[in-house]
Amino acid sequence: MAKFEGKSAIVTGGGSGIGREVCLLLASKGAFVSVVDLSEEGGMETVRQIEEKGGKAIFVQADVSKVEDVKRYIEETKKAFGKIDMFFNNAGVEGAVAPIAEYPDDAFEKVININLKGAFYGLKYVIQAMLENGGGSIVNTASNAGLVGSPGVGPYAATKHGVIGLTKTATGEYADKNIRINAIAPGPTATNMMERFTKGSKEAEAAIKEGIPAKRYGTPKEVANLVVFLLGDDAEIINGAVYPIDGGLTAL
């Protein structure tokens, strides 16, 4: 069984959804957790829940699309816990829903900045920190939209394809440096992001579920279980992999 006691982790987007569940699960296993989020309210709530159960965590407010914020969340984590053993590179936004020819330019910029630039900057500077302490484990959040075409969310799909490309490339560059880098590709999951995507429409939700072989959304806890497994030593031979977790949606 993987040991997490005394290890430290950074989780971006840790103030809600999948990110929060990963924070809570890591802390429950004894890891020190740096909760990174743009939302102070959400991030502090995650810290509160961790501390309520006897865990140790800090909150760092950051915009992952800004290099200085990325450097700061890394430095704050090192200051608090000494090193970085694990990184869940997770923060992202869904963007607008529109065909490419009608997609708003400002929405495109926002999605690219957070989902792709943010993922790249996180990888770049966390890898530098991990090289200093002899290695580590990284999980990037892609999406089932990074594996197939996704009409209506072209920029989102493009960023998630990009995250998978970064994952595989970084593996080739750093696997021999004791750094493991994998990606998850969640399908529809019961988070606030999906609620925003469907705009609260029960009809839209039912239509999405009907298209999933499992006929339901995944849960943040189910995704968190996979992430924490990949971050831990039980997965030490797994590197450069992309794991769909989507009820069979991309299998067909």
Taken in order of first residue, the domains within the chain and their CATH numbers are 8-188+221-245 (3.40.50.720)
Q: Each residue of 98-120: pLDDT tens digit?
A: 999 999 999 999 999 999 999 99
Other beta carbons within 10 Å of 211: 12
pLDDT for res 1:
67
| Residue ranges in the chain whose pLDDT is less than 50 | none
Q: How far apart are CA 163 and CA 191, in angstroms?
A: 20
If 0-12 CB within 10 Å is exposed, 13-18 middle and 19+ buried, where does residue 151 land? exposed
Residue type at position 42: G
pLDDT for res 109:
98
Task: Show the tokens assigned to 109.
Answer: 């910029």
Return the closest-CA partner of residue 92 out of 196, 241, 213.
196
pLDDT for res 194:
80
Name the one residue in this structure whose structure tokens are 């189910």.
222
Cβ 187 vs Cβ 150: under 8 Å: no
Q: What is the pTM of this model?
A: 0.96
pLDDT for res 85:
98
Q: How far apart are CA 74 and CA 10, in angstroms?
A: 8
Say which of 73, 103, 156, 243 is annotated catalytic. Answer: 156
| Active-site residue, 156 included | yes
Instruction: Give the DSSP letter string of 136-167.
Output: EEEEEE--GGGTS--TTBHHHHHHHHHHHHHH
DSSP 188: S
